[in-house]
Chain A
Amino acid sequence: MFTKTSPALDLVYFLVFAAAVLTMPIWLAPIGAGYPDLLQKFAIFGLFATGFNILFGLTGYLSFGHAAFLGVGSYTAVWSFKLLGMNPIPAAVLAVVASGVFALAIGYVSLRRSGIYFSILTLAFAQMSYNLAYSVLTPITNGETGLRVLESDPRILDGGGATDGPLISNLFGIEMTGYAGFYFCAVVLLIGFFIAQRIFRSPFGIMLRAVKTNQNRMTYTGLNPRPYTLAAFVISGMYAGLAGALMCITDPLAGAERMQWTASGEVVLMTILGGAGTLLGPIFGAALIKYFENIFSAFNEQTLHEIFGFLPDFLEAPVVAVSGLFVGEGWHLTLGVLFMLIVIFLPGGLMEGFARIGRVLKRSSNKSEKSGSATAPAE
């Protein structure tokens, strides 16, 4: 992250990223990820993690309650569908506003503490939101079943009443499912990424990094870090709310378990896994976890036998048995092992791995004679 930057380089960086995101349906197809729902998830959780990274990656404040903002965004979006109509634009705008206000309140209180005390405060607020949404607040959240749009809802802008088609969010006639939904999410992700990139390079971003590096020194120079961190907290809460709204735009249902601590933990893991403080890392981390969740869990004995069918019989059975532990119902195990391997061998997350590969390539192209690649040092 301390490599040379310039506006021109940033623009190239952004354009390459944009091209990569928009062509995902093509280049992700060979690994089984080229279908709309997973692509939407990549974009949505990439956005969520990007926003989380603005707080955690820059200021070092580790929030363990960001899922609450995702949930608030989701509920706001569905209520917007129910009351206003199925247009995604007001839903997204209202979700950002609502989650921003919610983040302002929680951030204002939580940021009075730092370190793990801050983490536990955010966790406590999120868990309270989750528990209440699941039970007492059921009239607003529809509890376990999740909030959905019903035929009987007013939907003022749509004219209300019964519709002939299914209740799917649509942008002036374009239904936000399938690839159309993905491209909507992708465009929002690109906007979010662009803003994040601007923040990273701005004086505001430098100020946030200063908070991470040495808050005391910053205070001594007469600057009050609180407004900066609060701003970062609110911005990242808004990202989360927007991600929550996108989840509902592509699939109009908001469930309480989106706010559970495991969901908050997931975005933390995504960010660290990809590389906290880097622009692209959290997006990679999000994609990796979602890929495992959706593809590895879908393997069963039948598919394994198809895969290993080329092996001789005496080998096939044990290979299928062993690999069966890591896929299907064992996909969590693969994820756990992956977390450990990455953090042990790549302290900076996936981005560190890419950087190392880049360095090795550069070195070998400089010294064409050089033999043997640098192995990752064991920590």
Chain B
Amino acid sequence: MSLIRKPLNRRSILRAGAMGGAALATPTIFTSRAWSAGYLNEPTGSEVVFGFNVPQTGAYADEGADELRAYQLAVKHINGEGDGGMLNTFTSKALGGNGINGKKVAYVTGDTQTKSDAARASAKRMIEKDGAIMITGGSSSGVAIAVQSLCQEAGVIFMAGLTHSNDTTGKDRRANGFRHFFNTEMTGAALAPVLKNAFGTARRAYHLTADYTWGWSQEGSIKKYTEDIGWDTVAAVRTPLGAGDFSQYITPVLNSGADVLVLNHYGKDMVNSLTQAVQFGLRDKTVNGKQFEIVVPLFSRLMAQGAGENIKGIFGSTNWNWSLQDEGSKAFVKSFGQEYGFPPSQAAHTTYCQALLYADACQRAGTFQPCAVKDALEDFDFDGLGNGPTLYRGADHQCFKDVLVVKGKEAPQSQFDLLEVVEVTPRSQVEYKPDMADVQGDLGTCNNGA
């Protein structure tokens, strides 16, 4: 019976004032429209509510759990608890460790299930029922784009989590949505020169690509930049999402004449295809007189653990890694490690930054009104969050910062020490025009929801 009583208790507590009084007890689109003053979910009590929408079930549950840890840490730091983390190294000093605009940050959580429908339902619950002023999180581009357009329609800010497809800030960009994470275009621009140095210019690449939008986006970017350095693309084969056994796609690589295999897979697909490709002896082969190589353009340390030994020496790119030695990264790793006992993942880092950036923008704007916050975030220059000097570009709401090219470490010091940074590609090298072909889009106008 206790199962059934829980929500009753929870409600009564919420009503008792934890959320800030009677005005917020029915924070729905419906009522706020009826007032038609201010903006949607305007916080009127002593607290402001963030919505953390992360995958808690399904293949990315561990990544989602790490994102949630980072969010909880960010909330602590914004509210002035703990050691302050990257707030101490952040170049903007607007936040004073006493909440935002005098209000303490509270949060609600939800499960995206890595499905667009579930993610939107969860985000809607946060907006309609819990009065969330901002939604953030996620671990897939499909979900990010779906939730971003929902937030645009509803009139709240969306701070994207881990999403790597160009589309999020490309053809599906929205005025209310912002992304700190990098994208396939930047991966291609950063990775290609390193690959050129390591493997030379006369290479023949074979792509295995997850058959959905993110996979295509990455395949396109890698092809474009590797062909620029003189590589040939032998074939680009699409594989079904969640294929499990990739043997039937790997064997044709053997006699295709290719000497590099590019795996445009993420998550479980990446773990499986990489494990199996290594099993098929691809890395022991010599083709065209050259050592056969495998490249995994988007690396995630959390996921790479699943591939074990097989990632050693394999090149890829990542948004951030805990081994970085700048002040911001060190402060974040220390704060996170002391709290949870292990280092943060890149998903944790990007979500922590997003929470901080949003909070800072609200403080600078002096309000939580989405359009004012948007103006504060647009073309905002900052540093001290682990990626060097960074720009939140106003034209497409994409962050521009250095990109890490990494390699699976040969002699790891611990179970977390999987990637070594090969090169920090400077921001200038990965910048592109916001109206470049393939990433053109229309931000539209920002929506306050009221």
Contact = CB atoms under 8 A, between A and B. Distances in A.
B142 A297 contact: no
Given A307-B13, A329-B61, A134 B241 contact: yes
Nearest to A31: B7
A145 B7 contact: no
Nearest to B65: A329
A145 B30 CA distance: 28
Given A30-B11, A258-B117, A146 B146 contact: yes
Given A135-B212, A143-B213, A298-B109, A293 B141 contact: no
Contacts of B354: none
Contacts of B212: 134-135, 143-144
Nearest to A334: B3
Given A166-B447, A328-B109, A329-B56, A31 B213 contact: no
10 contacts: A30-B8, A37-B124, A135-B238, A135-B241, A145-B142, A166-B152, A253-B150, A293-B118, A298-B122, A302-B107
B116 interface: yes
Contacts of A328: 56, 109, 111
B116 A146 contact: yes
B47 to A, nearest CB: 12
B81 to A, nearest CB: 13
A75 to B, nearest CB: 13
Nearest to A298: B110
Interface in B219-249: 238, 240-241
Interface in B108-136: 108-111, 115-118, 120-122, 124-125, 128-130
Contacts of B30: 36, 178-179
A299 B6 CA distance: 10
A247 B141 CA distance: 21
Interface string B146-185: 1001101100000000000001000010000000000000
Cβ-closest 7 pairs across A and B: A329-B56, A37-B124, A144-B212, A35-B129, A297-B111, A144-B142, A135-B211
Interface in A238-287: 247, 251, 253, 255, 257-258
Nearest to A39: B128
What secondary structure prevails in chain A residues at the interface with B?
helix
Contacts of B13: 306-307, 309
Contacts of A146: 116, 142, 145-146
Nearest to A36: B128
Given A294-B122, A298-B122, A36 B10 contact: no
A247 B445 CA distance: 26
B150 A35 contact: no
Given A31-B7, A38-B125, A146-B146, A255 B115 contact: yes
B57 A145 contact: no
Contacts of A168: 153
A293 B129 CA distance: 15
A168 B155 CA distance: 13
Contact of B10 (A148, A251, A255, A307): A307
A331 interface: yes
Interface string A30-60: 1110011110010000000000000000000
Given A32-B129, A145-B142, A332 B57 contact: yes
Nearest to B155: A166
A170 interface: no
Contacts of B107: 302
Contacts of B125: 35, 37-38, 294, 298
B281 interface: no
B145 A145 contact: yes
B6 A331 contact: no
Given A144-B213, A178-B29, A332-B57, A257 B115 contact: yes
A202 interface: no
B345 interface: no
Contacts of B141: 144-145
B255 interface: no
Contacts of B238: 135
A329 B11 contact: no
A72 interface: no
Given A31-B11, A135-B241, A323-B2, 8 more contacts: A37-B128, A146-B146, A178-B28, A247-B117, A297-B57, A298-B110, A299-B109, A331-B56
Contacts of B118: 293
A257 B68 CA distance: 25
A327 interface: yes
- Among A143, A167, A300, A329, chain B packs the most CB atoms within 10 A around the CB of A329
Given A35-B128, A145-B167, A329-B65, A299 B3 contact: no
A144 B214 contact: yes
Contacts of A138: 213
A151 B442 contact: yes
A37 B108 contact: no
Contact of B57 (A37, A135, A144, A329): A329
Max chain A C-beta neighbours (<10 A), residue from B68, B128, B442: B128
Nearest to A260: B115
A309 to B, nearest CB: 8
Kindly name the residue among A131, A302, A327 whose own CB sees the greatest number of chain B CB atoms within 10 A: A302
A36 B29 contact: yes
B428 interface: no
Contacts of B129: 32, 35, 38
Nearest to A250: B124
Given A35-B28, A148-B149, A329-B56, A303 B10 contact: yes
B444 interface: yes
Interface in A142-179: 143-146, 148, 151, 166-168, 177-179
Interface in B332-389: none
A37 B121 contact: yes
Contacts of A38: 121, 125, 129
Nearest to B32: A178
B71 to A, nearest CB: 10
A36 B28 contact: yes
Interface string A324-354: 0011110110100000000000000000000
Contacts of A134: 211-212, 241
B10 A331 contact: no
A38 B115 CA distance: 17
B197 interface: no
Contacts of A298: 108-111, 122, 125, 130
Interface string B28-45: 111001000000000000
A104 interface: no
A224 B298 CA distance: 59
Nearest to B149: A148
Contacts of A143: 212-213
B59 interface: no
Contact of A306 (B18, B110, B120): B18
B415 interface: no
A350 to B, nearest CB: 13
A145 B120 contact: no
A295 B120 CA distance: 14
Contact of A294 (B29, B121, B167): B121
Contacts of A297: 56-57, 110-111, 122
A251 B110 CA distance: 19
B6 A329 contact: no
Contacts of A148: 149
B220 to A, nearest CB: 14
Interface string B6-24: 1111110100001000000
